[in-house]
């Protein structure tokens, strides 16, 4: 692949036979179009992220309340663990799912739920990592900490994208 440069911009790419690399160009154009279409709806992105996090919390809440023996053993808990605290964690997950869904229903009205949710994910990440490395290492605790960190960062990114879009709209700047 040989390319030539005009004003610090690669204008076209040619293979050694001189034919234009249309496949790479089309793929890049499709990627750019998909990216523009996805990022064009920041409210829907944020609502979708919050909905997926809520779904995760509902599933985890039900699992922690029910405590199926097979899943608990796979997670590193033996049969003689205290059942109250995982169940309490399950109830917390269900309550947090309400906060996620409330924020998703009306972002403007309930934006404080979204900020609180991001804060909760940050605290959960810190707590789980500290517990995992300072108290007792369990792979499920490590994975939960990583998952909470990723979900919190995605929620933060989606909220920032939404707020940036609102600011651009208020200033009359076209998004995209």
Query: Over the stretch 25-64, which tens digit does the pLDDT of each residue have?
Result: 666 676 677 667 777 899 999 999 999 999 999 999 999 9
17 φ/ψ angles, rounded to the nearest 5 degrees: -85, -5
Confidence band for 132, pLDDT divided at 50, 70 and 90:
very high
Domain regions of the chain by residue span: 41-160
Rounded Cα distance, 31 and 132, in Å: 39
Q: Determine how many CB atoms are found less than 10 A away from the CB of residue 119.
A: 11
Is residue 90 within 8 A of residue 65, CB to CB? The reply is: yes
74: pLDDT strictly greater than 70: yes
- Residue written as tokens 């590193």? 76
If you average pLDDT over every residue of the chain, what do you get? 85
**Predicted pLDDT of residue 159:** 98
Confidence band for 22, pLDDT divided at 50, 70 and 90:
very low
**Predicted pLDDT of residue 173:** 82
Q: Determine how many CB atoms are found less than 10 A away from the CB of residue 165.
A: 20
Model confidence, pTM:
0.77
**What are 86's two structure tokens?**
């995982």
Residue from 122, 102, 123, 98 nearest 112 by CA: 102
């Amino acid at each position: 692949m040989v390319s030539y440069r005009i004003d610090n911009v690669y204008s076209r790419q040619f293979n050694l036979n001189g034919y234009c690399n249309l496949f790479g160009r089309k793929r890049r154009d499709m990627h750019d179009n998909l990216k523009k279409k996805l990022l064009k709806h920041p409210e829907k992105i944020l609502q979708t992220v919050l909905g997926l996090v809520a779904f995760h919390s509902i599933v985890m809440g039900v699992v922690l309340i029910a405590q199926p023996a097979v899943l608990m053993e796979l997670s590193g808990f033996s049969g003689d663990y205290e059942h109250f605290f995982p169940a309490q964690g399950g109830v917390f997950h269900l309550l947090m799912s309400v906060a996620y869904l409330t924020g998703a229903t009306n972002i403007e009205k309930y934006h404080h739920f979204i900020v609180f949710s991001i804060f909760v994910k940050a605290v959960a990440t810190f707590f789980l990592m500290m517990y995992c490395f300072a108290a007792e290492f369990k792979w499920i605790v490590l994975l939960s900490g990583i998952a909470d960190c990723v979900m919190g960062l995605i929620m933060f990114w989606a909220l920032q994208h939404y707020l940036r879009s609102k600011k651009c709209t208020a200033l009359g700047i076209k998004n995209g």
